[in-house]
Structure 1
């Protein structure tokens, strides 16, 4: 397996973990008051948007040639970091 394939698989696995966390937050949102649910929904929409963007970048990475891999990896690293931080903030905010 190439470095790129390993990186893509690792990122996909992490997205799957984040999806599970987002699902837990959605379930918790349904159990809160109306005001609390609105706050949850705003955060969750942001997380889902960032996740969708990262998934799109992964799709592009799979299709990109070797020459573009360096640039794409840099973009993926930034998107990964942003989503990771957003999930941590959401987790701490709603626990």
Structure 2
């Protein structure tokens, strides 16, 4: 059970870090031209949606146990990878 707790704590900290990075991306948009701002805002919105889905998956992890926990964890790992990759892609576009 300790592994479950450590996993959730690690992922919770990672979600907070990603949230801060998304906030930085939003702050950078202030200097963009209107058309670029719209495009980047859509990307940030997509990241926020992925972040929200990952957060919801964290809540599921808190309720799951045994084999169900393992299945939720596998799905959560995929979601984390998608969010991480999406954030890296957005960061490269915001430079």
What TM-score, normalized to structure 2?
0.94
Aligned to 2:62: 62
Q: Offset at 1:72?
A: 0.8
Residue by residue, what CA displacement relative to the aligned partner does 1:32-84 show, whole Å, maximum 9, x if unpaired? 11112101101001000000000000001001122311101100110011100
Aligned to 1:86: 86
What TM-score, normalized to structure 1?
0.94
Counterpart CA distance in 1 for 2:33 and 2:67 is 51
Q: CA RMSD of the aligned region, Å?
A: 1.1
Q: Offset at 1:19?
A: 0.6
Counterpart CA distance in 2 for 1:94 and 1:23 is 12
- 1:15 and 2:21 aligned: no
Counterpart CA distance in 1 for 2:31 and 2:23 is 13
Aligned to 2:25: 25
Aligned to 1:35: 35
Displaced runs of 4+ in structure 1, greater than 4 A? none
Counterpart CA distance in 2 for 1:40 and 1:2 is 40
